Structure 1
């Protein structure tokens, strides 16, 4: 275990544990720090929140293979640079690569979780995908994830809308239009080209803004769905466990009732035997008293003076 005053090391160790192990170990670490006189450290440790299965699986993925983690960070850097440079063709290729890599890594996270003794649902796998998309778009989230110490699900990334194009970067040239039937004057051609370029740029901005809004709404709805699925799966698991407990209790109740019936029958039989024995005892006692009286009369035929 790390030194009680090393919050970063303790945090890393805690977020490497399964969620069901986290709380007890966190509280134990906080208690050790408090006993060592590190009250501020203890308070900081105690404030660490238990990770959800989604966050734990994402951290597990980052910790499992340093090279794979580094490659994902490099892909994110390349995507951000391509966005800043407005490198359309490169951005399209990297975006296609992003979706394939994220899907594959999310599946690996699910497999790693199962190997660690904590099977997770498809909803959790989808949640890991959302985290990885944010890792690619947000450098700060990327650094935290790479350290395996995500404490909560980061806000979903909406493309790379937060990145401004680099100075001097120009948008990809619009598709060439068919030449008019008549040859326009050079001045008119330049004016038309400028107007068309401006219109295309404005239309592109409006389309991009709409696409970003739609993507954000989709990701928010998808994130809510993933959380709802995870909550449903947890509730279903708890309900199944309660059903199993109820079935077990019902079995025990039926066994207890049968045992009680058996014991009641034995008690009734014992009561009858007791009554019979008591009756025999009384009869025997009366006979014994009578016999003693007769013996006394024989021994003292004239009685005592």
Structure 2
């Protein structure tokens, strides 16, 4: 077997079972002389709860995976072309499909005996949005071997899609032959304010830029917290591995102690038997000696 097929089996296991199963398979590979494969298996990281649920979804619903990947291609193309009409249409499909897949992931996790909490559920939805937004994220998600939740790039969120500009229809043409006299310009309409009115989307774009900056700051903080979590998770895995080794050693020592106690019992029985035998042979030897002495004395008396 190769590491990919082994990983496919491991990453649908609940995170609490992952480390033990991974180490067992790595030990088997090492025993079989597959040192390189054993090292690759041992390097596999335990998934978070939301990543595990996402992996379950990918392995259980391949048709839905294809639907999401195709929708992501269409969304990215429409976003690239700044096609507001297409974006709004695909955005409605996005919300429907993400909601359906998120519920399916929740049901799969519950069916496996590990229901998702609200935080993990949001992470699953976040991962689905990332797969829609980014081709690399889509490939990671579709592999079914996620270690942690994916994060959609800033600027391609559902809110950004909803804010896509639409082309305004031109003002209706004036009737032929009629000339409307120019309106006198009001003092408060001249200058920069008039220029702003010629750009009605400027305020909205400023708000979007501010929102994107806030999202980037929040994203940076989230990544920092996730990195702290992964470091803590790595410590947990190392400690679990150490504990497992100590428990195995304790089991071995307990077995050795049991064998030693049993051996001591047998040796004591052998010693008791040997002592009894020695006592019996000593008594028999004394009797034989006395009989020999009696026989010798009788022989000596006959020779006189």
Scaled by the length of structure 1, the TM-score of the pair is: 0.58
Task: String of CA shifts for 1:234-268, please: whole Å, max 9, x gaps.
Answer: xxxxxxxxxxxxxxxxxxxxxxxxxxxxxxxxxxx
- Aligned-pair CA distance for 1:76: 0.7
Runs of 4 or more, structure 1, over 3 Å off, are: 171-181, 195-208, 214-225
Among 79, 103, 108, the alignment partner of 1:107 is: 103
* 1: CA distance, partners of 2:56 / 2:221: 25
Identify the residue that residue 32 of structure 1 maps to in structure 2.
Answer: 28
Identify the residue that residue 56 of structure 1 maps to in structure 2.
Answer: 52
Go from structure 1 to structure 2 and tell me whether the alpha carbon gap of 1:7 and 1:182 turns closer, same or farther (over 3 Å shift). same
CA RMSD, 1 decimal: 3.7
* 1: CA distance, partners of 2:33 / 2:68: 41
Matches within 5 A, 1:49-198: 49-160=45-156, 172-174=166-168, 182=182
* 1: CA distance, partners of 2:198 / 2:28: 65
Go from structure 1 to structure 2 and tell me whether the alpha carbon gap of 1:218 and 1:105 turns closer, same or farther (over 3 Å shift). farther
Deviates more, 1:83-92 or 1:36-45: 36-45
- Aligned-pair CA distance for 1:207: 4.2
* 2: CA distance, partners of 1:181 / 1:111: 68
* 2: CA distance, partners of 1:92 / 1:213: 23
Size of the aligned set, in residue pairs, is 207
- Aligned-pair CA distance for 1:218: 6.0
Task: String of CA shifts for 1:203-226, please: whole Å, max 9, x gaps.
Answer: 66544433323444566788979x
Go from structure 1 to structure 2 and tell me whether the alpha carbon gap of 1:212 and 1:105 turns closer, same or farther (over 3 Å shift). same
- Aligned-pair CA distance for 1:85: 1.1
In the alignment, is the contact (CA less than 8 A) between 2:53 and 2:124 conserved in 1? yes
- Give ranges in structure 2 of 5+ residues lacking alignment: 158-164, 175-179, 185-194, 233-304
Task: String of CA shifts for 1:31-79, please: whole Å, max 9, x gaps.
Answer: 1222233222222211111111110001111111111111011111110
In the alignment, is the contact (CA less than 8 A) between 2:196 and 2:202 conserved in 1? no
- Give ranges in structure 1 of 5+ residues lacking alignment: 162-170, 185-194, 232-305
Go from structure 1 to structure 2 and tell me whether the alpha carbon gap of 1:16 and 1:53 turns closer, same or farther (over 3 Å shift). same
* 2: CA distance, partners of 1:117 / 1:36: 34
Scaled by the length of structure 2, the TM-score of the pair is: 0.58
* 2: CA distance, partners of 1:209 / 1:84: 18
* 2: CA distance, partners of 1:19 / 1:175: 55
Matches within 5 A, 1:238-257: none
Task: String of CA shifts for 1:83-141, please: whole Å, max 9, x gaps.
Answer: 11111111012122212321221121111111112222122111101111111111111
* 2: CA distance, partners of 1:99 / 1:217: 25
Go from structure 1 to structure 2 and tell me whether the alpha carbon gap of 1:50 and 1:203 turns closer, same or farther (over 3 Å shift). same
